[in-house]
Chains A and B, each alone.
Chain A
Amino acid sequence: MKKILLSVMALSALLTALISCGVEEDFREAVQADSDTFRAYFAKRFSQVAFADYKNGIYAIDSDSRDQWLEIEEFPPYELNIDNGKALFETPFSNGKGYPGCFANGGIGIRQNYPYFDTEIGEVITLELALNRCREANGEPALGYKNGDLVDISAYMAFTSRDNLFAIEVPNRDAYDAYLKGQKLFYSKHGQLNMACADCHMRATGQKLRADIPGPALGQTTGFPVYRSKWESLGSLHYRYEGCMRDIRAKPFALQSTEFRNLEYFQSIMGNGLAVNGPSARK
């Protein structure tokens, strides 16, 4: 009798493991299918653009502005930000520790792994959030997420990671939920103008939207932080998200809110395989 009971229990454990394994496979397949469809959409829209070139945003599809951009990149407006970021990154905290101790490989060449889903705390961690959590863990005050020192440090870390390929993973079901929330935000219409990210950066990309041509959503995150001519400064991805939401008259989420982090997570996964090219310059 005992043997039978043990056998039943073992069988049930095996079945549970097999089922959960199947669920794991399901969401991974779903993410892969999303990614394939997303890429195929842009491959069809801009058949002349190579996948790797999408890291250049609007300059991948608009040859006129690409020429201007290439000239700007000869003397990059973000050069001083990288220098400042490097100096700050290498300056120890009051307790003698520093940023390198908070990151894998001392924080060098790791931009392509951010954002990631932290399976222990169950949330998406962006590079900027990780930097501030590192500061707070070492008794330093958090820095602003819009622009300034934190964004300069992020720019330096991106600079040390240039040409590394983005490889963001979806490790478990909770991560997939965060991915889905980001995806929902991307495709849902918001604000008084009733527009979604996808409206501008998928359907209208390549076409004039008033005076501008919206950049393609594929590879949109690879070059951040960016020096925007409009801002006259280097700014973070979430600062750009905030501006997009305001433009459609939707009340923006806070910078580094769960919503924006999930959106960055989804967008970054769509850009997996593209090279890190931040910091970069944009209009």
Chain B
Amino acid sequence: MKKLLIPLFLSLSATLAAPAFAATQEEVRGLINKATTTREAAAAAGFEWTGTADLITRAQTALETDNIAAAEALARQALKQAQNAVAQAEYADAHWRETKPD
């Protein structure tokens, strides 16, 4: 009985949770656009990271092939990287002198 309940519980959870968490194609496209503009801001400040552009390209490819879940994961990763790079630039502007030797 227990063996039957576990898969039943898992499939029910997946069914109920899926509509609540899965992003739509439009939402993922929005994420990719946001990641792109944030990456551009990091690049303009001279603080772009090496992997971000590749993550965006891979997210776009996944979206084109209707692999929405993968596209979303890649776009979120790219956005996080780009946001961290912008934060790094802002931190450097405000604090770089503090790391000079006394």
Contacts and interface: CB of A to CB of B under 8 A. Distances in A.
B60 interface: no
B101 A41 contact: yes
Given A187-B96, A188-B96, A194-B88, A251 B101 contact: no
A37 B101 contact: yes
A40 B92 CA distance: 24
B99 A187 contact: yes
A188 B92 contact: yes
A202 B101 CA distance: 9
A40 B101 CA distance: 9
Chain B contact-residue range equals: 10 to 19
Interface in B15-64: 43, 46-51, 53
Contacts of A196: 99
A192 B43 contact: no
Given A188-B99, A249-B51, 5 more contacts: A188-B92, A190-B92, A194-B88, A202-B101, A259-B46
A33 to B, nearest CB: 10
B97 interface: yes
A69 B31 CA distance: 52
Interface string A26-59: 0000000010011011000000000000000000
A191 B50 CA distance: 7
B91 to A, nearest CB: 8
Contacts of A240: none
Interface string A10-35: 00000000000000000000000010
A283 interface: no
29 contacts: A34-B100, A37-B101, A38-B101, A184-B96, A187-B97, A188-B92, A188-B96, A189-B88, A189-B91, A190-B47, A190-B92, A191-B49, A191-B50, A192-B49, A192-B50, A192-B84, A194-B88, A196-B99, A246-B50, A249-B49, A249-B50, A249-B51, A250-B48, A250-B50, A251-B48, A251-B49, A251-B53, A253-B46, A259-B46
Contact of A184 (B50, B51, B92): B92
Chain A contact-residue range equals: 20 to 34
A220 to B, nearest CB: 16
Given A184-B96, A190-B88, A192-B51, A251 B102 contact: no
A187 B99 CA distance: 6
Interface string A153-197: 000000000000000000000000000000111011111101010
A183 B48 CA distance: 19
Nearest to A252: B50
A198 interface: yes
A130 to B, nearest CB: 24
A124 to B, nearest CB: 16
Nearest to A196: B99
Nearest to B99: A187
Contacts of A187: 96-97, 99-100
B83 to A, nearest CB: 13
Contacts of A194: 88
Which of A41, A185, A190, A259 has the most B CB atoms < 10 Å from its CB? A190
Nearest to A249: B50
Contacts of B88: 189-190, 194
Q: Which 3 A-B pairs have CB atoms at the shortest separation, nearest pair first?
A: A188-B92, A251-B48, A41-B101
